[in-house]
Amino acid sequence: MSFAFGIGIGTQNNQGEWLEVFYQQPVITPDNTLMEVIRNAMDYQGGNQAMSATAEQLSQLANALRQVGEIDQAALAEKAANSKRPVAVTILETDDAASSTPEVYLKLHLISHRLAKPHGLKLEGIFGLLPNLAWTNEGAIDLNELPERQLQARLEGRTLEVKSVDKFPQMTDYVVPAGVRIADTARVRLGAYVGEGTTVMHEGFINFNAGTEGTSMIEGRISAGVMVGKGSDLGGGCSTMGTLSGGGNIVIAVGENCLIGANAGIGIPLGDRCKVEAGLYITAGTKVALLDDNNELVEVIKARDLANQADLLFRRNSQTGAVECKTNKSAIELNEELHANN
């Protein structure tokens, strides 16, 4: 059984190199019947491949898919046969590291379509396969070809608007997941997983390979690799430290029903029902005064020792400036076990 499959409509530069690919109906773990049809129609010999498809191949593929009852994919192949843009039929036999731009785009689509979750796919090495592009009101343009396109637009009485210059496009140009609100779509990259019920306000940001389980209010930054649990609220201007921004190999996550206050931040994973006071940034090495239910000091530890524990309140003492953590008895007992060999 193969890992993933997609028929994509893409953009190429003047040298015939892929710039981006749009997969309207990506498939994860396609069944053997579907893959047998693809194999025969595209002369697929195995492995991970992104094959350029001709109109004739796509028409034959559409007929074959219809005969085996794959109506949706057949309709897509039939429409793709009339595409004015190049078409890629991409097959991932395994979830190995991508080797082409269409393969990367298929993986990013799988996440944004909620077919795979962050950390569920191998995304190592994708930056070298994603060209830095001008994202315009006329689609993706190779930066070397941009000046000529801008001039041509002016000569024709049009203005070519460059919305961003980046390796990643905004997610909503490719997929809008059901049940979400996104106030500024430019702040959610393709490859983000936006769970149903999530609201992303104007200052909210979700990177690729990151996102929310659902029913979350996002007014802060969800960095690459960070997943936020249901019911959690990220206050305005707050931050989560991702693996691309100094977190190293630590997987930062936010549990369910957590609150990270405005302009606060975390460099450790939070368990469920945790709160971080507004303006307080906690890194793994932050010294934390652990308090019991009577606000008595238990011990001073590093924040990393409280990673993934539930029901914690992180705050700063207004008199001493020390970072404190108010916790319940079970968390203190767990912490004592952690330090038993010291």
User: What integer pLDDT is reported at residue 293 of this predicted model?
Assistant: 80
- Any binding-site annotation on 299? no
CA distances from 22 to 29, 80, 96, 225, 315 (A): 19, 11, 21, 23, 45
pLDDT along the chain (342 residues), means of 10: 93 98 97 90 90 95 95 97 97 96 98 97 96 97 98 97 98 97 97 97 97 96 96 96 63 95 96 96 95 88 95 94 80 41 39
Task: Enter the tokens of residue 120.
Answer: 């569920």
Residues annotated as part of the active site: 219
- Any binding-site annotation on 263? no
Do 16 and 125 belong to one domain?
A: yes
- Any binding-site annotation on 187? no
Do 238 and 189 belong to one domain?
A: yes
- Any binding-site annotation on 62? no
Q: Which domain holds residue 25?
A: 4-131
Do 176 and 150 belong to one domain?
A: no
- Any binding-site annotation on 285? yes
CATH assignment at residue 331: 2.160.10.10
- Any binding-site annotation on 302? yes
Do 99 and 184 belong to one domain?
A: no
Do 161 and 218 belong to one domain?
A: no
User: What integer pLDDT is reported at residue 234 of this predicted model?
Assistant: 97
Nearby residues of 116 by Cβ (< 8 Å), 6 or more positions away: 28, 107, 110
Total residue count of the chain as it appears in this document: 342
CA distances from 108 to 8, 16, 175, 302, 311 (A): 13, 22, 11, 36, 34
